[in-house]
Amino acid sequence: MSISVVEKAKNWLTDSFDADTRKEVEILLKEGNEKALTEAFYKDLEFGTGGLRGIMGTGTNRMNIYTVGMATQGLANYIKINFKDIETPKVAIAHDCRNNSRLFAKTVANIFSANGFYVFLFESLRPTPELSFAIRAFKCQVGVVITASHNPKEYNGFKAYWNDGAQLIAPHDTKVIDEVRKITDPSQVQFKPVKENIEMVGEEFDEIYLEQLKSLSLSPESVNRNKDMKIVFTPIHGTGVDLVPKVLKKYGFTNIINVPEQDITDGNFPTVKSPNPENADALEMALSKAEETNAELVMATDPDADRVGIAVRDRDGKFLLLNGNQTGAILIYYLIRRWKELGKLKNKEYIVKTIVTSDLLTDIAEKYGVEHFDVLTGFKFIADIIKQNEGKKHFIGGGEESYGYLAGEFVRDKDAVMACALIAEAAAWAKDQDKTLYELLIDIYVEFGFYKEKLMNLEKQGKEGAEEILKIMHDLRENPPTEINGSKVTFVKDYKKSISLNMENNKSEKIELPSSNVLQFVLKDGTKITVRPSGTEPKIKFYVSSKGELLSAADFEQMNKELDNKLEKILKFFNK
């Protein structure tokens, strides 16, 4: 066993730690479980550009009140340095449904209060996007939400937000990391709260947020005509349980069907393998309820309600799960089309998507004369474009393939509460034209081209897994493929080096985006493959997108099979 691991573990036997923590460490040392000790102590849980995320438990590489506390102290120190002219800086704090989330949120609130901050702490679990909204509404300098999004139940996280309601970007992200690294021991953390500095935020604020969401409605007449449309919604045990049904009712929908077993707030997520709306099994109970009730639309949000997965009925009446690109295409098409029909397009509008999100969104924007931006993966980069254009241009909407969407400018993170309302409204609008959302999607494919995407996640757990992910990226970067599935690689885009290399003439161009550990291969037939390590999970991700011409809706099934086979072959190339 590594001597450094043992020494780090012994450091947790001092009076800086509570008795229960010391006892757990003593047991680990006594049992001599090398793997458990190594995973808990081989490194410090890294405060990355988005904050902390990790498995809960005792140790420097785990989420607990001490690692959360030290991160909070470092963040508080940076805010005081950066806003030194503000005598009493303000912070908003929220949390999701996970085990220990309330404990961590109160710990964060106590530390900020002890550091002279005025704290707005939500009285109970709330969606992450409401935290983003609260930062701007309360004019806070900083915000924190305790969540691990859709990760398995063992995980929790700490996400930091700036005063614009968006997650940290340069230069603040790395500067906060520097301050957090200066906090090396819990004795440096001010844990004792100043209770008069903490204000609880309750349901009255929810109403303000919901009214803002209602202001985004574009088709109230369509909703009124189809208000009894049957919609099944599940929060998958998470924070969407209250506000999603409320916003749907505010929009005018009257027939919202819940899944009682999944309305129970539970950080163990007992009814699913993983609380991730990207996964089909997470929607099984909702789909069963939809069949039982003859519903038309199924929606499921992740634990912190910033992402939504949906299912719609196909031409045979069977439910089909849409992927994040398909839902995003429907939403962007609906928003732009309605802005056009309502005379709201004034040549100052734009959308934003990430580089791994379907170019179908770009094609839709271009046809309607709407400007479009591509950004790195992460909603903070979408938020940054909104900030840059604030007061000059109008943000219609944006999204990413990982089921996150946004409209309007008052929230600066992906918002599934908002997305659920607008998706349901789009379904009502389509129904007014005797179409389902599925039929609307096929119409979009016929008009703009059939884009098909697939995502492959290779999970690599622990220290060895992290090293393997680094090796995969290194090998692809140093020895990129020249041909994939019979098609030549024409461009290799290295976002870490900020270089796009034309493989045919060996000429390179600078990529005008921040550096990021992402590789992209563009094939001669137009197929695009993107590879990147996940920033929040022990995974390396392979995104592949290809396009075919769909002459009519009748050709959909055949084209779907052809593209599906093509994408499978490409993914096998990377998973030998």
Spatial distance between the Cα atoms of 438 and 489, rounded to a whole number of angstroms? 33
Residues forming beta bridges with residue 299, ordered by sequence position: 233, 310
Residue pair 241/263 in contact (Cβ under 8 Å)? The answer is yes
Spatial distance between the Cα atoms of 457 and 410, rounded to a whole number of angstroms? 33
Which ranges of 2-93 would DSSP assign to H, the alpha helix? 3-10, 19-31, 34-41, 65-82
Give the DSSP letter of residue 46: P
Residue pair 327/405 in contact (Cβ under 8 Å)? The answer is yes
Cis check: omega of the bond before 171, within 30 degrees of 0: yes
Residue pair 423/327 in contact (Cβ under 8 Å)? The answer is yes
Spatial distance between the Cα atoms of 331 and 423, rounded to a whole number of angstroms? 6
Spatial distance between the Cα atoms of 518 and 477, rounded to a whole number of angstroms? 9
Residue pair 514/377 in contact (Cβ under 8 Å)? The answer is no
Spatial distance between the Cα atoms of 515 and 534, rounded to a whole number of angstroms? 15
Given 101, 113, 132, 149, which residue is catalytic? 149
Which ranges of 92-188 would DSSP assign to H, the alpha helix? 101-114, 128-137, 172-181
Among 234, 275, 56, 273, which Cα is nearest to 150's? 275
Upper half-sphere CA count for residue 169 (Cβ side, 13 Å): 22
DSSP β-ladder status, 198-201 and 155-161: unpaired
Residues forming beta bridges with residue 297, ordered by sequence position: 231, 312
2 is known as an active-site residue: no
Spatial distance between the Cα atoms of 309 and 232, rounded to a whole number of angstroms? 12
**Which residues neighbour 285 within 8 Å (Cβ) at sequence distance 6 or greater?**
234, 259, 261, 262, 271
Backbone angles phi, psi at 382, to 5 degrees: -65, -45
Q: What is the 3-state secondary structure (H, E, C) of 399-467?
A: EECCCEEEECCCCCCCCHHHHHHHHHHHHHHHHHCCCCHHHHHHHHHHHHCEEEEEEEEEECCHHHHHH
**Which residues neighbour 51 within 8 Å (Cβ) at sequence distance 6 or greater?**
71, 144, 157, 158, 159, 160, 167, 168
- Tell me the angle at which helices 128-137 and 203-214 cross, rounded to the nearest 10 degrees: 90
**Which residues neighbour 464 within 8 Å (Cβ) at sequence distance 6 or greater?**
none
Give the catalytic positions in this structure: 149
